[in-house]
Each structure stands twice: as C-alpha cells, then as structure tokens.
Amino acid sequence: MSVTAPPAKVDPPVEIEQPAPATAPAGLIVLDTEDAPACADGNCW
C-alpha cells in the first residue's frame, strides 16, 4: 500500500508593496527624504 503524502501547504508569495518614489510635477524623482532648511514663500526663518 502506498501512501501519498498530501501536498505540502505552500503559502502564496507575499507581495511587499514598495513605496513609489516621490515625484515632482515635471516627473523629477525627489531624492531627499528629510526636510532641509530652505526659503519658501519669502520665509527663510
């Protein structure tokens, strides 16, 4: 009598969602990840 082992249960691969790189309106890939000091709307302080 042969015994066939049930197929091993294989979990489906988990898809890890990669965050899309931040892009500016013109399609630039924004490289900096942290806020750096800058002057915006006439305010530098």
Q: How far is the CB of 6 from other proteins (least distance, A)?
A: 48
15/34 with CB nearer other proteins: 34
17/34 with CB nearer other proteins: 34
Q: How far is the CB of 18 from other proteins (least distance, A)?
A: 17
Site string for other proteins, 13-32 (x = CB under 8 A): -----------xxx-xxxxx
Burial 6-15 (b: 16+ CB within 10 A, else e): eeeeeeeeee
Contacts of 21 (CB under 8 A, 6+ apart): 29, 30
The position carrying tokens 């013109």 is: 26
